[in-house]
Structure 1
Amino acid sequence: MQTTILYIGRDTEITVVMNRLLNARPEWKGICVCTDEEAIEICKEQHIDLVLLGNGIDATCEKALRAKLNGLKPGLKIIQHYGGGSGLLYGEIMTALN
């Protein structure tokens, strides 16, 4: 069974890279967006196992986004990811899921 990971970041180029990294593993399905509105719609329509918050999301937006996403899916795991290599990304995801 695939783990569905939603990445939310503000930088389009980084979002493209994250999409490639997340979807490179057959056990993961990565969905990558740049706006809170897109993220909320995806959470309404699809099962999401984990949310990664990327760069460019300020503290106020992060707080509001966490509240909205947890309101839609109580207990949804949401972690911050601000960069690093694919090994770090893998470690962060596996730690959050276990």
Structure 2
Amino acid sequence: MDQVEILVIGRHPEILQTVIRLVNNNPAWNATGCITDQEAISAFKTQDFALVLLGGGIEEQSEQDLCAYFRANKPDIKITQHYGGGSGLLSAEIYEALKSNQL
């Protein structure tokens, strides 16, 4: 089974690293973390992500621009917010977002 590629965007390096580690605890998932919008767009161009996870601290305009870019280039991409909380909440957010695009 292929791993589900997940793009994680966050503005706080320590929190981003923690989220990536938690996501990668699930052997079915592979997270790539980005701090800047430019990094996120660059990664999006080179990998086939199934999900974009938006972390805290992203400015509203950046979030709108990123979402518009992702959807323009991959209309079926799933985008979800991660508001913090424990790993159980993070997993639930990811499962819910991935489930919503299944037939």
Q: TM-score range by the shorter chain?
A: over 0.9
Aligned residue-pair number: 98
Question: SS state of the match for residue 93, structure 2?
Answer: helix
TM-score, normalized by length of structure 2?
A: 0.91
Question: Structure 1: 5+ residue runs without aligned partners?
Answer: none
Instruction: Summarize deviations over 1:3-55 as a string: whole Å, max 9, x none.
Output: 11110000011011011111111110011110111111111111001000001
Cα contact 1:5–1:28 (8 A) shared by 2: yes
Give the superposed CA RMSD: 0.8
Question: Structure 2: 5+ residue runs without aligned partners?
Answer: none
Residue equivalent to 2:73: 72
In the TM superposition, what is the alpha-carbon distance from 1:66 to its structure 2 partner? 0.4
Q: State the 4+ residue runs in structure 1 displaced beyond 4 angstroms.
A: none
TM-score, normalized by length of structure 1?
A: 0.95
Instruction: Summarize deviations over 1:35-78 as a string: whole Å, max 9, x none.
Output: 11111111111100100000111211111110011112112100
Does residue 22 (structure 1) correspond to residue 23 (structure 2)? The answer is: yes
Give me the identity figure in percent: 49
Residue equivalent to 1:42: 43
Residue equivalent to 1:32: 33
Cα contact 1:43–1:72 (8 A) shared by 2: no
Residue equivalent to 2:53: 52
The code of the aligned residue for 2:26 comes to: R
